Amino acid sequence: MRELWDLFITFAKVGVMTFGGGMAMLPILQREVVQNKGWATDEELTDYFAIGQCTPGIIAVNTATFIGQKQRGVWGGIFTTLGMVFPSLVIITALAGLITNFAHVAWVQHAFAGIRVVVCVLIFNAVLKLWKSAVHDVWGALLFAAVLAATLLAGLSPVVYVLLSAVAGIVIQSLQEGRK
């Protein structure tokens, strides 16, 4: 039970930092799950995040569920999911009335504008950390560039990019092994 409680508390701490959504939470997840707890590697977290983006639901919640499942099975998945969602539920419930009543106030609008800037920086930092763990060679860099260009030009579902990248990874690895 202590381990389940630890999962809940850890993901509740992450859940408190919900500003900006799943992508903005990546650096916090990386610090808590990889560095502090050792529950996953950078590569595993990247994989969980990719799968979490392709499955229905919120990326960060899906990622939490994967990590909890890995640590303590179904109950671990339930406790991490509850931990991730609980702070948001409390905060959103408390803020919903306030935002409705004060959204027109200039300082509230300015505060949200500042928060949006911070979210962009957090996402950028997450990309840099993921880059270090995901792009190991020229093939990874080319795949990154191709997917980046495709997302900017085509605007397809992230599921398509993940699936095509998985196929590309298999093909690239097979070709490299065939040359050996």
- Please determine, for residue 15, whether its predicted confidence score (pLDDT) is greater than 70: yes
Domain boundaries, the chain: 2-134, 135-180
Number of Cβ within 10 Å of residue 103's Cβ equals 10
Residue with the bigger pLDDT between 105 and 170: it is 170
Residue 142 pLDDT level (bands cut at 50, 70, 90)? very high
pLDDT at 147: 92
pLDDT at 19: 65
**What mean pLDDT comes out for the span 103-108?**
84
pLDDT at 9: 93
pLDDT tens profile 30-57: 888 899 999 998 888 888 888 887 777 7
Separation of alpha carbons 113 and 125, rounded Å: 19
Give this prediction's pTM: 0.59
Separation of alpha carbons 160 and 8, rounded Å: 32
**90-97 contacts, C-beta under 8 A, 24 or more apart:** 91/16, 91/18
